[in-house]
Amino acid sequence: MIVTKLQGGLGNQMFQYAAAYANSDQIYLDLDFLHHHQTSNKTFTRRYYELSLFPNLLYETVSRYQKKIFFSKSLFYKLLRKLIGTDVIIQQENELVSFSAEKHYVYLDGYFQSEHYFAHARERILHAFSFPRLDPINQVLIDEISSHENSVSLHIRRGDYLKPEVIKYHGLLSLFYYHEALQLLQRQFRDIKIFIFSDDPAFARENFGHFSYVTIVEGNEKDAWKDMALMAACRHHIIANSSFSWWGAWLSTKQGVKIAPKRWFNPEVASFDISDIIPKNWLTI
């Protein structure tokens, strides 16, 4: 069995689930962190359990007793851990870690933002993360996306990334990144159609709204997963330094170009290798 601690928004929760699901048939979710951290501040944004939107997910919620197997300091549980074989995997940053094949009980605490954990089970993950049917308005949009041979998903992440303490860690992508990515696609493909997804649509309109081949998608603020479903329907992807649009690109089954920023985190505060996050066949700018 693998227990995975859920934290962060939808994209992060998907990474945490996928890392467990691809490596075990018994998945348990630990929701305690989400339940106990319900206040946003200048460095933290409250999140809710969001994976319930996927109808195909298989899991159980971990019990208090099951967590004691991993963390209780009593002599009984210490002896039990030696007897049954347990492993607690805690990421210090977002470095790659391995799960011991000899351990039957594994607890994961981290973000696991890499396909290294689940690329071998791609079809299984695609099935698990199958979206529900979209509402009529978004169904019209997805039909429009499908009608364009060279549809492009472009994600602009701002929102909580604008908080001073958050921007120090994540950084904010420049317009230069997006213009370079668009020029790369325009040199390679004719008649591209761009669909922009952003938590700051006013910023998107100001900087990209004047292009005739751009559609700025709005109206899914309360159901952000619908934006991810629309992203996944596109052929090409220009993602932000965000797990949300990472999944929008990874879930796409169309053969297209996927472009990601080289600067995923501020290198002054995050020292791990960006190549662990971005798949080898994606381009970086």
User: How much is the pLDDT for 170?
Assistant: 66
pTM equals: 0.92
Among the CATH numbers 3.30.70, 3.40.50, 1.10.287, 1.10.10, which is that of 135-284? 3.40.50
Q: Domain map of the chain by residue range?
A: 2-126, 135-284
For residue 130, give every residue at least 6 positions away whose Cβ sits within 8 Å of its Cβ, in sequence order, or none: 54, 55, 56
DSSP notation for 134-197: PPHHHHHHHHHHHH-TTEEEEEE--GGGGSHHHHHHH----HHHHHHHHHHHHHH-SS-EEEEE
| pLDDT(162) > 60 | no
Q: Is pLDDT above 90 for 42?
A: no
Q: What is the mean pLDDT of the chain?
A: 91
- Tell me, what's the pLDDT at 34? 96
Q: How confident is the model at residue 63 (pLDDT cuts 50, 70, 90)?
A: very high
| For residue 59, pLDDT beyond 70 | yes
